[in-house]
Structure 1
């Protein structure tokens, strides 16, 4: 009984003490409310950080890129982009690759040899390494050479198909590892052929044919990496080491390409979530990147394309050169470049030549002084009047029908640039509309009057010249015969044919182009003679060479701008990340 009483007494004492403490606390609060004394300090706990710590993975490098959209076929004009060029460098085999000095050299990881073995007929013999194979174990062999030849000699909207149209036959022996290519004529530019070979055994019967080839990925790899994942919704491409690559394996387990902008790239580099960046930047983005200071090394990388306005004479409205020249006369190139580059570094690479890009060694401007770069309303009025148009209520028309042009954006990110062309035409009284067709470079699309998009830059001079202005006819082996007409002055365009994205053919120019292709006349000499005529014909209006900023964090080594127009991914097998 005493123990129970004692416990009850202790409980009463504790309860009394609690009541006194509560009363004292109330008194303190009351006093605090009546004085200027500060309240007692609050005891806080550290709030958990929202950003989780990241363990460094020395086997992974994350690259911030501007876009993961569009097709991935490096041989299609409509698929040309930094992403396409980058992936082709690490996923596709090539006979020759561009060296640091811009000279093509045999890629001995794929080839044993490639050489001209007979002069008449003109035969080049290629020997592929026995162990060279696709990631599904199928050999890289003659079948892949034949597939590329068949597609590029016939498919519209292809890159550099002129050289393939000179091929007469391809034969093979030793299990397809020795490939003999016979040309109808001598072809000194043969080293430009068979770059970025494709897995014929997987693509030749694939749904969608050539038009859908590599639209959403690579079915197999013939390079040091393989495509593991392409997620356009998340904006991510994952490359993993190709375990079936037959030569020395690369140091990294994977490369992740992640869509971002300049602000996102800067933040990801600071937190360590990204180690590289390769994307176009405007003036604001360039300033953000510069703010990273010594944490990164920044290098401009001129791209493999030139932003261009193509004036397509295959369309009825643009058939007369006077109309095409009038359109050029109303354009403000400085405004177009500002819209296209946002004041970024690409704006310094103004293109004033029809074939050679600004970043090429020995580049020089060839644009005649009478081809304007600022609006010249008087010249435009004179040219449109000579073409039979009259100005009614501020709009140009002929026989009661307004001059109404269709503008195609060559790539999704060229829509703003196409809209700026539309605005400038409207100011000059020319109606227009902007479309985004599936393949704007198809020369058979007669409804497209103007095409605003990228054209390939650099490469073999004769091939590039033929790809833009050459005709396809009976003189080119393997090509379907197409009608041509005799050479005419720039006033009226000859019968167009499907040999280039313009749908243009001038027989006189074409004869000179073929002389350059076959080596009968030096390509530089041909270009010097035909380029003035082509400027006056107002077929293409180059703006600027596309460019990206390469941003490299100090935690990664072996990264450089790469060979001319090939880009940093050409050296991806040398990338390493420090622990």
Structure 2
């Protein structure tokens, strides 16, 4: 796709997610009386696809562009990504962070004395402890491998000095403790971790604070935080407003929205291109740290045989799944041909092998016979359940396409759409049970910036808490291979270079037919010229991570 084509596509996608409802004009109620308008609010309205609840950035169930945006503006982080993707210590929160001991491997964080939550409680060691305890034990969390290496967290100087002790060296420690949560409000809150940030933020610690969060109306209003201890934002207010693609484009055209961030299809790209002919626009494609993947779960009794998994994978038309899921939008150019690193990662190297294995032969070897239109074994048809998070695209669309393709190959399948919290917290969590009902899952693989941790979190094992020694799966698929586990652990601790580890592990992962990565999700960012400073943002952070520097200059 050429540069001009990308710009046109980006423009078309971003204009269709905002409502065009300008405020009513000020009309004098009495003849001869002059109404003095209120002071104009320095505000930027951002059109988005949705603002629905679930804002915990640490859960798979809550992954979205809006969750990333809110976390970047409302929650404190130890490190954030620079423009080149490297981690940078956030001086808004920390005075220092460094490895202070090699044995045991210890990282010491020093928190600013004036860093506090919006209710005046200090940001302190208890916030680190809360996130660590939840990330190492809760199901359905994003990239927990690094947190599982932590043995203990000690507090000094009133909680403002935090010593994190690891069981082994962990070079990726800078990827931990981003988007800290207010432990003093959440640790004993009703609903526990599952309800944390489900529909609101009990306290914030960023340049903005939540003024209103109205999911039914589809609007989130953020205002400059008076309690933020650093340089305040230029804007008074940032409003996120839900709308379909057509309404978003109309809102941009009318000036009722000044920025849009949406998943675009070919139609939206064309509409944005047409708008750009009459209106000055800045457009760019913004990849999310999220790859759409199809998991064939060894935890399922029906797919524990690698021959069956391979046959099922070979029955799928990957190119068609990518085309349907990306809707011929910007994501179509971000094909994920690696098991671990996303296409926009600096370390991305395609490893997709040429297709091998005949599905008919493989299923026959596994004891199945083709009877009529279906494959059967022992008089029972091969019938699979495909799960996807309800209401979350492109996962539901891809799951339905997987079902259609398998049916054409004689493999009966049904699509089960489950609420995200239940899917990731329950259905895909019990990876060792024999009565698991989910055979295939169409789910995201998030990227946190530490590919070694992504590898361990997606394909690694951990020891059983019951006997302390038995390796058990520690991922959504239920995959645990003792042949590759030592290399995974060495990559996580830095004993071997990640690139060397992936060269030996990726061929095994493809051969095991556990995951079929499809494409990296991308949004289209569109901005009108009256808003200055709108950029794609740093990798992993998103465009709203720099909203504190946006300026509005009406023309």
- Normalised to the residue count of structure 2, the TM-score between the two structures is 0.89
- Contact persistence 1:62–1:274 (CA under 8 A): yes
- Contact persistence 1:76–1:159 (CA under 8 A): yes
Per the TM alignment, residue 498 of structure 1 is displaced from its structure 2 partner at its CA by 4.5
- Partner of 2:164, secondary structure, is strand
Per the TM alignment, residue 417 of structure 1 is displaced from its structure 2 partner at its CA by 1.8
- Contact persistence 1:156–1:498 (CA under 8 A): no
For 1:501 and 1:481, how far apart are their aligned partners in 2? 22
Match of 2:348 in 1: 363
Please tell me whether residue 434 in structure 1 is matched to residue 420 in structure 2: no
Residue segments in structure 1 that go unaligned for 5+ positions in a row: 1-48, 372-377, 486-496
Per mean C-alpha deviation after superposition, the further-off stretch among 342-351 and 289-298 is 289-298
- Contact persistence 2:175–2:448 (CA under 8 A): no
Per the TM alignment, residue 229 of structure 1 is displaced from its structure 2 partner at its CA by 2.2
Match of 1:453 in 2: 443
Per the TM alignment, residue 338 of structure 1 is displaced from its structure 2 partner at its CA by 2.2
CA gap 1:482/1:547 in 2 versus in 1, 3 angstroms: farther
- Contact persistence 1:515–1:521 (CA under 8 A): yes
Please tell me whether residue 211 in structure 1 is matched to residue 197 in structure 2: no
**Residue of structure 1 aligned with 2:361, choices 382, 391, 394:** 382
Match of 2:138 in 1: 155
Structure 1 residues 472-517: Cα deviation after superposition (integer angstroms, max 9, x where no partner) = 117xxxx6756646xxxxxxxxxxx351111221122111111111
Please tell me whether residue 74 in structure 1 is matched to residue 64 in structure 2: no
Residue segments in structure 2 that go unaligned for 5+ positions in a row: 1-20, 27-36
Aligned residues: 510
Structure 1 residues 505-562: Cα deviation after superposition (integer angstroms, max 9, x where no partner) = 1122111111111111112211111110011101110111000000001110011000
Per mean C-alpha deviation after superposition, the further-off stretch among 503-512 and 196-205 is 503-512
For 1:392 and 1:379, how far apart are their aligned partners in 2? 18
For the aligned residue pairs, the C-alpha RMSD in angstroms reads 1.9
Structure 1 residues 340-397: Cα deviation after superposition (integer angstroms, max 9, x where no partner) = 12111111111100111111235221011126xxxxxx81111111111111111011
Please tell me whether residue 393 in structure 1 is matched to residue 372 in structure 2: yes
Query: Which entry has the higher C-alpha Rg, 1 or 2?
Result: 1
For 1:95 and 1:282, how far apart are their aligned partners in 2? 36
Match of 1:235 in 2: 218
Per mean C-alpha deviation after superposition, the further-off stretch among 294-303 and 445-454 is 445-454
CA gap 1:482/1:448 in 2 versus in 1, 3 angstroms: farther
Structure 1 residues 273-293: Cα deviation after superposition (integer angstroms, max 9, x where no partner) = 100000101000011011121
Per the TM alignment, residue 53 of structure 1 is displaced from its structure 2 partner at its CA by 5.6
Match of 1:4 in 2: none
Match of 2:241 in 1: 258
CA gap 1:126/1:51 in 2 versus in 1, 3 angstroms: closer
For 1:52 and 1:78, how far apart are their aligned partners in 2? 38
CA gap 1:285/1:57 in 2 versus in 1, 3 angstroms: farther
- Contact persistence 1:262–1:289 (CA under 8 A): no
CA gap 1:50/1:346 in 2 versus in 1, 3 angstroms: closer
Match of 1:561 in 2: 536
- Partner of 1:466, secondary structure, is helix
Structure 1 residues 134-190: Cα deviation after superposition (integer angstroms, max 9, x where no partner) = 111111100000001000111111111111111111110111000011111111111
- Contact persistence 1:156–1:499 (CA under 8 A): no
Match of 1:340 in 2: 325
Matches within 5 A, 1:101-500: 101-293=84-276, 294-370=279-355, 379-412=358-391, 413=393, 414-438=395-419, 439-441=422-424, 442-444=428-430, 446-457=436-447, 459-473=449-463, 484=470, 497-500=472-475
- Contact persistence 1:72–1:79 (CA under 8 A): yes
Match of 2:31 in 1: none
Per the TM alignment, residue 458 of structure 1 is displaced from its structure 2 partner at its CA by 5.4
- Partner of 2:227, secondary structure, is coil
- Contact persistence 2:218–2:242 (CA under 8 A): yes
Per the TM alignment, residue 443 of structure 1 is displaced from its structure 2 partner at its CA by 2.5
Please tell me whether residue 576 in structure 1 is matched to residue 535 in structure 2: no
For 1:335 and 1:483, how far apart are their aligned partners in 2? 43
Per the TM alignment, residue 457 of structure 1 is displaced from its structure 2 partner at its CA by 2.7
- Contact persistence 1:472–1:482 (CA under 8 A): no
Structure 1 residues 255-290: Cα deviation after superposition (integer angstroms, max 9, x where no partner) = 111112221111101111100000101000011011
CA gap 1:252/1:481 in 2 versus in 1, 3 angstroms: farther
For 1:88 and 1:548, how far apart are their aligned partners in 2? 18
For 1:270 and 1:50, how far apart are their aligned partners in 2? 12
- Partner of 2:484, secondary structure, is helix
For 1:339 and 1:53, how far apart are their aligned partners in 2? 44
Per the TM alignment, residue 411 of structure 1 is displaced from its structure 2 partner at its CA by 4.9
Structure 1 residues 314-362: Cα deviation after superposition (integer angstroms, max 9, x where no partner) = 1111111111111111111222122212111111111100111111235
For 1:78 and 1:246, how far apart are their aligned partners in 2? 32
Structure 1 residues 2-21: Cα deviation after superposition (integer angstroms, max 9, x where no partner) = xxxxxxxxxxxxxxxxxxxx
- Contact persistence 2:41–2:237 (CA under 8 A): no
For 1:522 and 1:415, how far apart are their aligned partners in 2? 36
